[in-house]
Structure 1
Amino acid sequence: MASTSVSRVVQASPERVWQLVGGFHALPDWLPYIPQSTPREGGRVRRLRNSDGGTIVERMVEFNDQERHYSYAIVEAPFPVSGYLATLRVYAVRGEEGAAEVVWSGRFTPEGASEAEVVDLFTGIFSDGLDALDEAVAR
């Protein structure tokens, strides 16, 4: 099993950041390459459409509003992995009221690609996503 984790400090309170990212179907609000999220199964599954028109289906595995994190598994996607489980967390930054640390991490088993290729793929996705979040918070 492989894993990766990316973190970023953004200049907004943890509450404000969580308000933006904490909704399981909120990706289109801050992630430009996911313009659509369609809820399924009472909202526990999201069918995402990416900017290329591709589809990704993800299932919420855990959600904790008070601790500001959720985890999800990929059900269907064009990625060369199985057993994908990722978590998005928002932390307070000690001593900085107007800052939050956001950590996006995932673990998965590569299939049809090397571990390094798949780690690079998801590290890039998480990093680009957190860059987009930083921009969205600044607006």
Structure 2
Amino acid sequence: MATTTATIDIPVPAERVWQLIGGFDSLPDWLPYIPKSELGEGGRVRTLTNEEGGVIVERLEAFDHQARTYSYSILQAPFPVIGYRSTLTVHEMADGQSRVEWSGTFTPAGTSDEEAIALFHGIYTEGLAALKKTLDA
């Protein structure tokens, strides 16, 4: 099993960050490469469409509004991994700032650990940079 984590510090209160990213259906609000999200199964499954029209289906596994965190697994995606589970968390920092952490565990399938880690680390890092840009706007 492989893991990776990306973090970013944002000069915005944690509650404001969570208001933007805390909804399981909110990725299109801050992640430019995911322009479409549709909820199913009572809000527990999201079907994402990326910029190229690729489909990713994810299941909400855990959600804690008070702790500002949720975890999800991938049910269907064009990624070379199995057993994928990811967690997105907003931490309250001093001086009204936030630290956002996006982490994942997965088993590479048909690729090396290093390549799978690089893929998801890139997704997380780019995603968090897009989040910061959205909040700066």
TM-score bracket for this pair, using the shorter chain length: over 0.9
**Distance in 2 between the 1:4 and 1:31 partners?**
19
Aligned residue in 2 for 1:25? 25
1:74, distance to aligned residue in structure 2 (A): 0.2
State the one-letter code of the partner of 1:47.
T
Amino acid in structure 2 at the alignment position of 1:123 = H
SS of aligned partner of 1:25: coil
Q: CA deviation at 1:96?
A: 1.4
Compute the displacement of 1:11 (Å): 1.3
Q: Which residue of the partner structure matches residue 61 of structure 1? A: 61
Aligned residues: 137
What is aligned with 1:132? 130
2: CA distance between counterparts of 1:119 and 1:42?
32
Q: Over residues 32-53 of structure 1, what are the superposed CA-to-partner deviations in whole Å (9 max), with x where a residue is unaligned? A: 0000000010110000000010
Counterpart position of 2:3: 3
Letter in 1 for 2:95: E
For structure 2, list consecutive stretches of 5 or more residues without a partner in the other structure: none
The percent of aligned pairs where both chains have the same amino acid is: 52
Across the aligned residues of Structure 1 and Structure 2, the Cα RMSD in angstroms comes to: 0.4
1:96 and 1:77 mapped to 2: Cα distance?
39
Question: Secondary structure at the residue paired with 2:24?
Answer: coil
**CA shift for structure 1 position 125:** 0.1
Task: Specify the SS of the correspondent of 1:32.
Answer: coil
Runs of 4+ deviating beyond 2 Å = none
Alignment of 1:76 onto 2:79: no
What is the TM-score when the length of structure 1 is the normalising length? 0.98
TM-score where L is the length of structure 2:
0.99
Ranges in structure 1 where 5+ consecutive residues have no aligned partner: none
Q: For each residue in 1:10-29, what CA deviation from the matched residue of structure 2 results, as whole angstroms up to 9, or x when unmatched?
A: 11100000000000000000
Q: Name 1:92's counterpart in structure 2.
A: 92
Alignment of 1:95-106 (within 5 A): 95-97=94-96, 99-106=97-104
Say yes or no: does 1:112 pair with 2:72.
no
Note if contact 1:11-1:137 (Cα within 8 Å) is conserved in structure 2.
no
Residue 9 of structure 1 contacts residue 102 of structure 1 at CA under 8 Å; is this kept in 2?
Answer: yes
The residue identity in structure 2 corresponding to 1:16 is R
Q: Which amino acid aligns with 2:35?
A: P
